[in-house]
Amino acid sequence: MYVKLTRRNRMIIAAITVAVVAPLAALLAVEYARAAKEGKLFRVPASPLVIPLDRRLNVLIAVTMIAALAPYTAVVVMNASYVSKIERDLPLFFRELAETVRSGVPLVRAVEEISARGAGPLRQEMRRVVFRSALGEPFEDSLRSFAERVDVYSTKVMSVILSEAYASGARVIDVLETAGDVYSMLLAFELERRSKISPYAWTVYISLILFLVISAALTEIFFKPLSSFAVGIPFMRGLLKPEVYETVFYYVSLMESFFGGLIVGKM
């Protein structure tokens, strides 16, 4: 399923996000008040910054952030998967279409036959195009509607190729075979690009894991023993709280995960 991010759909996603986050925000306010009452808030000296030391409150903050991003992220991931399946099927679709047209079948009939015997998003969209054409809508308009509904570059190019082939009628087989070859090269290039980028993505993931391991080691091996040692030193009692450093590492890991995910997603 492909969800076009129109203004209406964006408003629906925003409404779902508010509906999901509102109860969590209310619970967050209650937990913050409880933590303040129990003295589990650390005020950074000479700064308005407050660090919550309550583990349940910190987990709830992370859950609220994830819930706020989840609806939009789910739509983006679903659309990306849908488009990827379409683009992977384009070379085979054009080759099958060229072979069917070569056997003497008209273009629209060939699209119908190929779509009927295949599975996947592209075949499903083509069945919809053929169905609308059978109801009386011009074939070019049905293709244009498909390109507008799945609004990406590859579907727009595909729509133009099929529309021009249907309108001209000349050298249709050559056009379809060339389109299949071009899409095959584009798919091979994309797969090669992803394989080259994969090590860099793993570098981001491994760096996060290393940070978590080092943070845990520093907290358990360094800060906790040092805080026990500093109990008898008055001016160090408020500075060496293991809970403070544990919370700082926790939020830094959240930020690193967020920005690392953005970097990997843009690769």
pLDDT 10s digits, 210-231: 988 988 888 888 777 776 665 5
Q: Between these two residues, 225 and 101, which has the higher pLDDT value?
A: 101
Residue 148, helix vs strand vs coil: helix
| 12: confidence class by pLDDT, cuts 50, 70, 90 | very high
Quick: pLDDT tens for 151-202.
888 888 888 888 888 877 667 888 888 888 888 888 888 888 888 888 888 8
The residue assigned the tokens 């998967």 is 81
- Whether 29 has a pLDDT exceeding 60, the answer reads yes
| 26: confidence class by pLDDT, cuts 50, 70, 90 | very high
Answer yes or no: pTM beyond 0.85: no
Mind listing the domains of the chain with CATH numbers?
7-266 (1.20.81.30)
What is the predicted pLDDT for the residue at 39? 83
114-120 long-range contacts, Cβ below 8 Å, gap at least 24? 118/89, 118/93, 120/85, 120/86, 120/89
Distance (Å) of CA 223 to CA 41, 215, 241, 251: 19, 10, 8, 17
What is the predicted pLDDT for the residue at 189? 87
Length of the chain: 267
Contact 159, 144 (CB under 8 A): yes
Give percent of the chain with pLDDT exceeding 90: 17
Q: Kind and range of the H or E element at 113?
A: helix 107-116
What is the predicted pLDDT for the residue at 237? 54
Mean pLDDT taken over the chain: 85
| 117: confidence class by pLDDT, cuts 50, 70, 90 | confident
